[in-house]
Amino acid sequence: MGQKGRCLLKLAVANQKGGVGKTTLAFHLIHAWAEEGKRVLAVDMDPQGDLTSSLWSEDLPGTALVARVFEGKSPLPLEVNQGISLVAAEISLSVHEKDLSLKNYFRLKTWLDSMGNQFDAVVVDCPPSLGLFTINALVAARWVVAPVDVSFYSVRALEDLLGSLEELKEIGEGARLLGIAPFAFAPRQRATRAVKELLEEEYGDLLFSWVIPSSARVREALILGKPVWKLRRDEQAVGESFRRLALEIWKRACGGDRG
């Protein structure tokens, strides 16, 4: 909790499989909360920089890069728009991945703690692997949301993520799994039903009730830098699912406090 009982939500969006919707989910959570008047800090921990590209189209100043955290410096967040700030990533971040000394697992946490209560929410987009950057995110965050698509590979990767969280608990650190977000589900497809049944059987109450349906427009939203609910009227159902999920995540993490 932040000052005067306000919730300070530090959230990592993670799954150790690529292509399951991590960046898409992070992008839409950031916009949904900002539209509710929250001050949101987006932290891109993936050297591919997809979240950065979706939020920022201009040249990146070196002072805004998350790589500075691993150089013992403080990044200066970019103001994307009213309510959204960004600590960016680019491919040069990958040079720091080889430095796996234990002390570097706490770099992001140390910097975020130094920010105090400047933001209502911090959303960290993780790369699809368990390395220095993902571990930093899991140590720095209070909660983890794991998007899962209709492939059994993403379910297996979810199991790996849970194992990683348990290992971090052994050193007294690490976020807790807040919930699992079913992503790009098509209810009429047999594979969707099979994966959903497996998730319900294995994880029960950890599943969020709002499922993000499959939509070709979601990828377009990231390319254009706009949440899907601002693209087309015929995508309002998908947009509403994102906003409802954002509210469900906030309530699960913060109780009745909406910021």
pLDDT digits (tens, 9 = 90+) for 230-259: 987 666 788 999 999 999 999 999 985 544
Q: Is the pLDDT of residue 163 over 80?
A: yes
For the chain, what's the residue count? Answer: 259
Instruction: Please list, residue by residue across 5-19, b when 16 or more beta carbons sit within 10 angstroms of its beta carbon and e when fewer do.
Output: eebbbbbbbbbbbee
**Domain of 32: which CATH number?**
3.40.50.300
Flag whether 139 is in a domain: yes
Helix (H, G, I), strand (E, B) or coil at 184: strand
Flag whether 246 is in a domain: yes
Q: What percent of the chain has pLDDT over 70?
A: 90
Flag whether 221 is in a domain: yes
Flag whether 258 is in a domain: no
Return mean pLDDT, the chain. Answer: 87
Q: Is the pLDDT of residue 117 over 80?
A: yes
Answer yes or no: are the C-beta atoms of 259 and 7 closer than 8 Å: yes
Residue with tokens 């209502």: 120
Q: What percent of the chain has pLDDT over 90?
A: 56
Host domain of residue 128: 8-253
Q: Is the pLDDT of residue 60 over 90?
A: yes
Give 195's DSSP letter.
Answer: H
pLDDT for position 110: 95
Answer yes or no: are the C-beta atoms of 45 and 133 closer than 8 Å: yes
pLDDT for position 250: 97
d(CA 71, CA 79): 22
Q: Is the pLDDT of residue 188 over 70?
A: no
The domain tally of the chain equals 1
User: pLDDT grade, residue 92 (50/70/90)?
Assistant: confident
Q: Is the pLDDT of residue 1 over 50?
A: no
CA-nearest of 79, 88, 144, 136 to 112 is: 136
Per-residue pLDDT tens digits for 12-40: 999 877 777 899 999 999 999 999 999 99
d(CA 150, CA 190): 10
Answer yes or no: are the C-beta atoms of 43 and 174 closer than 8 Å: no
